Amino acid sequence: MAFYLAVDLGGTKTEYVLADETRELARVRGGTIKRMRTDATTAEENFTQAIRELEQMSGVSVRDITRSCVGAAGVTVALVTDWIRKIFAERIGGSLILVGDVEIALDGAFFGGPGVLVMSGTGSNVAGRTAAGKLTTAGGWGPALSDQGSGSRIGQQALRDTTLAVDEERETTLLPAILKLWNLRDFDELVAYANQVPAPDFTKLAPEVVSCAAAGDAVAQGVLRREAEELAHLARLVIDRLRRVDTRSDWLPDLAFTGSILEHVAPIREGIVESLRRELPALKVVPGMVDPTLGALWRARHG
């Protein structure tokens, strides 16, 4: 019997799935093994713990694995790829496929086919793949330059809109919510805290924005609406690129979502779809959230 190992290698955690040809046998979440984010000793300890748990849960030795697929950001960085290839050659049986994290996410949604995937968590990115397999992306340039619709951007924009509301003498429940979260006494302390170097973690404000928006706060609702529109704009750019190279005049790629913001913040997800369907009413959306690890498993099974 053939066995397959799928790995979604992130900067803070790593997801593993061990499966046979039809069934998922074990799933483990461990610490990062990305060498740009941790030292070699810690990465090896995290990897050892994860494969030990996989073996205990599945009853399968990792030496008996037929093929593995690892998806990771930074696959062009030798520090990342050399270490992965070395540790897999030493510890895991079979062959190894090493690809970018965007590719396994697309495979999780479209199983090697064309489509557009919107990703939003701490950061954000939109990726598309043509029928010929060519990748294209928009956004993903980091919190200082883009990350539309991400947790970081939602928090940062909430602060900006809150200060504007103060200037305009408008009430917003965001202000007391932010002060309470950050344990600050008043607006002056907020100004100093938000402008400190290094900056605070703006991502932590995102749940407060969602809560205030759900309770009817206009400022919070405006933040989520604008971020959804901006992320939808990036998705439209990618959709248009794919359509330009497709020979079918009426073809429209399907849309899929992945990431914690898109999973848990319905106004962002729904706002993206609403914005795109104004001009593309036939747009089809893949239900649920894409699991990139299952994309890596699909690729491992299919070689």
pLDDT digits (tens, 9 = 90+) for 115-127: 999 999 888 999 9
Give the relative orientation of helices 174-181 and 187-194 as an angle to the nearest 10 degrees.
Answer: 60
202 DSSP assignment: G
Q: In what order do the strands lie in the sheet with 67-72?
A: 24-31, 13-19, 4-9, 67-72, 95-100
Looking at residue 56, its pLDDT comes to 97
For the segment 61-84, the average pLDDT, to the nearest whole number, is 89
The whole-angstrom separation of Cα 171 and Cα 253 is: 42
pLDDT band at 79 (very low <50, low <70, confident <90, very high): confident
pLDDT at residue 182 is higher than 80: yes
Q: What is 4-93's CATH number?
A: 3.30.420.40
CB 60 within 8 A of CB 25: yes
pLDDT at residue 156 is higher than 80: yes
Domain spanning 112-289: which superfamily? ATPase, nucleotide binding domain (3.30.420.40)
SS3 content of the chain, % helix, strand, coil (to 5): 50, 20, 35
Q: Which residue has the tokens 């995937």?
A: 117
Tens-digit pLDDT profile for residues 184-193: 999 999 999 9
Looking at residue 303, its pLDDT comes to 87
Q: What are the structural domain ranges in the chain?
A: 4-93, 112-289
Looking at residue 214, its pLDDT comes to 98
Looking at residue 215, its pLDDT comes to 98
End-to-end CA distance of the chain: 16
For the segment 274-302, the average pLDDT, to the nearest whole number, is 96
Looking at residue 64, its pLDDT comes to 97
Q: Which residue has the tokens 């909430």?
A: 158
What is the pTM for the complete model shown?
A: 0.88
Looking at residue 34, its pLDDT comes to 81
Q: Do domains 4-93 and 112-289 have the same CATH topology?
A: yes
The whole-angstrom separation of Cα 141 and Cα 123 is: 9
CB 244 within 8 A of CB 195: no
Tens-digit pLDDT profile for residues 219-256: 999 999 999 999 999 999 999 999 999 888 889 999 99
